[in-house]
Amino acid sequence: MKNLIFALCCILSQVAIAQQKVKFKADKQLLLTINKNLADADAQYKYLAKQLKPQEFPKTYHADQNKLETSNSGWWCSGFYPGTLLNIYQQNHDKALLTEAGRMMKVLEKEQYNTHTHDLGFMMYCSFGTANKLNPSDEYRQILINSAKSLSTRFNPKVGAIKSWDSKPSDFLVIIDNMMNLELLFWATKATGDSSFYKIAVTHANTTIKNHYRPDYSSYHVINYNPETGAVQEKKTAQGYANESAWARGQAWGLYGFTVMYRETGDKKYLEQANHIARFILNNPNLPADKIPYWDFNAPNIPNALRDASAAAIMASALLELCRYANNADALKYFNSAQSIIKTLSSPAYKAANGTNGGFLLKHSVGHFPAGTEIDVPLTYADYYFVEAMQRYKSLVAK
């Protein structure tokens, strides 16, 4: 029965998703720039690798102190470094990157049993999921299945969502970022035929549409549910400027997440949601002309507020998938916006010179402004989605 349900889901999603309608024209100069960026990424990440101790994952770099900040495997960003190494390897076939990714994944693999985080999609699918696409293996497959099982333990059917942060028993906190971890669950249903993973992902997404989004299709960062009844107790932010503001990276997570939801289900309500989010972002009067957003769309000191390269990179990658599903007018707008973002991120204003920036590719991301952490620094996920966006651009214009 589980296999039948899964097969039906696959058929429906393939029927529902339209083929790419628009032929996107490559910017030949940008393609040259992207190829140079990827060559530079190879050099930068080999430089970064030399600075790491055996159990360390890169987190950020503080230029004022010339200091690399690292984490252990339990940090939510631990999968981005090996994932970026693998994505660069796909482009340049430098085996040193493949070796380093393999070394780090051996440190990371114990997190497959971590039931205290909702970020196993980031941690395990961006790393082992990428590795399994490159070189499928029973070992990778089992690690990913175990990771999906661990993530599923955080699902509460009364709430209809996966818990994000552990807190006091009377709270059930769900953040918009959690949309990014659902892709692991879709993969697990495809790999095992067990539809329970699929159902959890769909239920979580539906609950998110219902409670995270405002009438203008901006998203709250955090929803606090009653774990016993599923009732909404609070709508607030943690990393944004204010409870009613639109934290830029949160908007990008939602855009990316609902684009994946449409790809995996073929349900047009997810395409509509992704389109609404894209319009909120791209038509926002506070979005700068170069499409690199301020860290919050409602930051009080715009136009002097800090920009967030990580939000821009996520947006670009998401738009380069969404443009494959949208109508012609929207598709061209999404493609051109992503192209503009990649151009800006490739400029010296955002892309670091080789041998600088601690080995990271991009400068000027914002992690947690209200907490005063990771302010105007490089971040691993900015690099990951920048490389992914460049890969997607190359693939899209080659068709």
User: Which of the residues are catalytic?
Assistant: 119, 177
Own/partner pairs for 205-209, CB < 8 Å, 24+ apart? 205/179, 205/257, 205/258, 205/261, 205/270, 206/160, 207/159, 207/160, 207/161, 207/174, 208/161, 208/174, 208/176, 208/178, 208/179, 208/254, 208/257, 209/269, 209/273
| Rg of the chain (C-alpha set) | 20
SS3 22: coil
Q: From CA 186, how far away is CA 199, in angstroms rounded? A: 9
Q: From CA 10, how far away is CA 4, in angstroms rounded? A: 10
Q: From CA 294, how far away is CA 240, in angstroms rounded? A: 11
For residues 261 and 182, is the Cβ–Cβ distance under 8 A?
yes
